[in-house]
Amino acid sequence: MYDLIVVGGGPAGATCARRAALGGLDVLLLDRSVYPRQKPCGGALSPRVSQTLDFDIAPVVDRDIRAIGIHTPSGRGFAVARRGLTVNMVTRSRFDHYLLHMAEDAGVEVVQDAQVVGIERTRDAMRVLCLGDSHRSHILIGADGVNSIVARATGIRHSWPSDRVGLCISADVPMDPSEIQRITMIPEEGNEPAMHIYFGATSWGYAWCFPKRNNISIGVGCRMDRLTDLRREWTRFIGRLEADAGVEISLPRTNVHRVPLGPPRWKLVTPRTMLVGDAAGLASPITGEGIFYGVSSGLLAADTAVETVKTRSLKLILTYEQKIWNLLKPEFDVLRFVAEKLYGSKRTLETVCNVAAADQIVRDLIVDLVIGAKPPQSVKNRLLKQMLIHHPLQAIKIGLG
Ligand SMILES: Cc1cc2nc3c(=O)[nH]c(=O)nc-3n(C[C@H](O)[C@H](O)[C@H](O)COP(=O)(O)OP(=O)(O)OC[C@H]3O[C@@H](n4cnc5c(N)ncnc54)[C@H](O)[C@@H]3O)c2cc1C
C-alpha cells in the first residue's frame, strides 16, 4: 500500500508527487498517457511558475518573451512591456516530460499508459482501479485535468457550470525561427519575438499567437455560456493572421478542448482525497492560465499529505481546502470581477483597451493582476481609483461608476 497515489502527471500532478516524495512519502503516479505527450496549450508561463518551482526550468524554456502585443476589437494595437517582466514560453510535451522526470528522480514511482477507470473508498484506504490493475493508498490526489475522473468518482464534482469552463481550439504551427521573428516582433519594442493577444476575436475570451522556438501556438478560447460559433471564429482568426502576416497557415483538423475558469464551489476534498490543478478548476477566469495554479495547488496538497501521514491525522486533509481558499479565493474573486467587466461586450473591451493604451498606470495594474505580482484586492482598488479619477466617462461606460 502506498502513502499517496497521484492520478495525472501534468504540471500539478508531477510537482505534487515530487514534493511528497521529497517529504518522505511512498508515492505512485499514474497517467493514462505515454510521455512525452501532447497537451493543447499556449505554453505561456507567468513569472510565478519559475519562482514557485524549486528547480531550474531553463532547459525546457523555448523563449523568454518581454513584450505583448494587444489587439483591440476594432483592430488597433498597442504594446505592453515592462522592465524585468519575462514570460517563459514552453512546449508542453517537453515541459511536462521534464517535470515528470524531476518527480521520478525524487523517488516517485511513475506508471504511464495507466488509465484510471474507477475509485473505491475502503475502510482504511483508497483503491484506484486501472484497466487490468488496481492500487491502494492512504491518500489520493486527483491531478487528472479538467475532465477529472477522481472528482467524479469521489462525488466532489460531476460537471462544470457553463460559466466556469471555457472551450478552446488551438494548434502549434511549425515555422522557421526567422519567420516567427518577422511576424511576431513589435518594432517599437525591439526585434525580439512577442506574444500577441487578440480581443474581440470571440465573444467572451480572446485569440492568441505565441512564439515558441520552432513553431507558433495559435488559438481561440471562449467561455462556454457565451459561445456562438467557435469554429467560425477560429477560421476567421486564421484568415486574419494570414492576411496580417503574409503567411499561409495550413492546419490539420483541430479538436475543441476545455479549460476551467475557476472552481465553482471550492469543494476540493473528501476525507482521503484532494483535487489539484485543472481537476480543482484552478485556472484564471480572465486568461485561462492554469500552470501556475496547478503547481501551487500541487505543492500545497503535497505538504498536506506529508503532514497527514506523519501525524496520522486524516483531519488535516480537510485543511487543504481552507488553505487553497485562503491562498487563491481572493485572487479568483478579483479576476472574475475584472473578467465580467472586461468581456461584458466588445464595446467595454474596446474602452478598457483604449484606456490601457493611453494610461501606463492602468496598463501596469492590469499586468500586476494577470501575473499576480501584487495582492489582488489592492490592485483592484487602485485600478478602480485610477479609472474613476482619471477616466470617469470610460468608468461609467464599463459599469464601474
Ligand atoms: C488551448 C489551451 C491553452 C492554454 N494555454 C495556457 C497557457 O498559455 N498558460 C497556462 O498557464 N495555462 C494554459 N492553459 C491551461 C493549462 O493547460 C492547464 O491549466 C494545465 O495543463 C493544468 O495542469 P494539470 O496538471 O492540472 O492538468 P493536465 O495538464 O491536463 O494534466 C492532467 C493529466 O492527467 C492525465 N489523466 C487524465 N485522466 C486520466 C485518467 N483517467 N487516468 C490517468 N491519467 C489521466 C492526463 O493524461 C494528463 O497528463 C491552456 C489550456 C488550454 C486548453
Atom of ligand 1 nearest to the CA of 276: 26
- 182 and 66 fall within a common domain: yes
Cα 313–Cα 315–Cα 320 angle in degrees, nearest 5: 115
Task: Give CA–CA dist 40/57, Å, rounded.
Answer: 20
Report the pLDDT value the prediction gives residue 380, as an integer from 0 to 100: 94
Three-state helix/strand/coil letters over 88-143? EECCHHHHHHHHHHHHHHCCCEEECCCCEEEEEECCCCEEEEECCEEEEEEEEEEC
The count of structural domains within the chain is 3
Shared domain for 110 and 150, answered yes or no, is yes
pLDDT in tens, 310-330: 999 999 999 999 999 999 999
> Is 291 in the same domain as 358?
no
Name residues of the chain where pLDDT drops below 50. none
3-state secondary structure of 223: strand
Domain membership of residue 80 (yes or no) is: yes
> Which is the closest atom of ligand 1 to the Cα of 146?
30
Which atom of ligand 1 lies nearest, measured to the CA of 291? Answer: 11
Last residue of some domain: 241, 259, 277?
259
DSSP β-bridge partners for residue 136 = 127
Q: Is the distance from CB of 173 to CB of 218 less than 8 angstroms?
A: yes
Please report, for the domain that includes residue 151, its CATH number: 3.50.50.60
* Ligand 1 midpoint to CA 8 (Å): 9
* Atom of ligand 1 minimally distant from the CA of 257: 53
From 203, 223, 206, select the one nearest 162 (Cα to Cα): 223
375 belongs to a structural domain: yes
Do 230 and 361 belong together in one domain?
no
Give Cα 304 to chain centroid, integer Å: 22
Cα separation, 4 vs 304, whole angstroms: 11
Q: Based on the fold, state whether residues 107 and 226 are members of the same structural domain.
A: no
Atom 30 of ligand 1, nearest CA residue: 145
Average per-residue pLDDT for the chain: 95
The predicted pLDDT at position 254 comes to 86
Tell me, yes or no, whether 329 lies in a domain. Answer: no
Are residues 309 and 174 in contact, defined by beta-carbon separation less than 8 angstroms? no
Note the Cα 286 to chain centre separation in Å: 10
Query: Of 277, 312, 347, at which residue does a domain stop?
Result: 312
The reply to whether 50 falls in a domain is no
Same domain, 291 and 274: yes
How many Å lie between the centroid of ligand 1 and the Cα of residue 89?
16
Co-location of 237 and 98 in the same domain: no
Q: How many CB atoms lie within 10 A of CB 304?
A: 23
33 lines ligand 1 (CB under 6 A): yes
43 lines ligand 1 (CB under 6 A): yes
pLDDT of residue 48: 95
Same domain for 221 and 185:
yes
Q: How far is CA 242 from the centre of its chain?
A: 27
* In contact, 316 and 199? CB cutoff 8 Å: no
Q: Is residue 294 part of a domain?
A: yes
Of 210, 219, 174, residue with least CA distance to 87: 210
Quote the CA–CA distance of 206 and 43 in Å, as a whole number. 15
Q: How far is the CA of 260 from the centre of ligand 1 (A)?
A: 10
Amino acid sitting at position 259: V
Q: Which three cell numbers stand for residue 158?
A: 460531476
Q: Ligand 1 in contact with 7 (CB < 6 A)? A: yes
The DSSP element (H or E) to which 41 belongs, if any, is none
Mark whether 100 and 26 lie in a shared domain. yes
CB of 336 shorter than 6 A to ligand 1? no
CATH number at residue 204: 3.30.9.100
CA nearest to 268, candidates 335, 314, 325, 336: 325
> Do 239 and 349 have their domain in common?
no
By DSSP bridging, strand 44-45 and strand 87-89 are: antiparallel
Measured in Å, residue 275 CA sits from the centre of ligand 1 at 13
Give 386 Cα–ligand 1 centroid separation in angstroms: 36
325 in a domain, yes or no? no
How many CB atoms are located within 10 Å of the residue 118 CB?
11
Exposed (0-12), middle (13-18) or buried (19+): which is 230, by Cβ within 10 Å? buried
Residues 279 and 355 reside in one and the same domain: no
Within 10 angstroms of residue 227's Cβ, the number of other Cβ atoms is: 17
From the CB of 152, is ligand 1 less than 6 Å away?
A: no
Tell me, yes or no, whether 175 and 226 share the same domain: yes
Last residue of a domain, one of 223, 238, 259: 259
372 lines ligand 1 (CB under 6 A): no
Range of the domain at 368: 335-398
Q: Is residue 43 part of a domain?
A: no
Residues 294 and 10 sit within 8 Å (Cβ to Cβ):
yes
Best CA proximity match to 222, nearest among 202, 197, 201, 199: 202
The answer to whether residue 368 sits within a structural domain is yes
The answer, yes or no, to whether any atom of ligand 1 lies below 6 A from the CB of 278, is yes
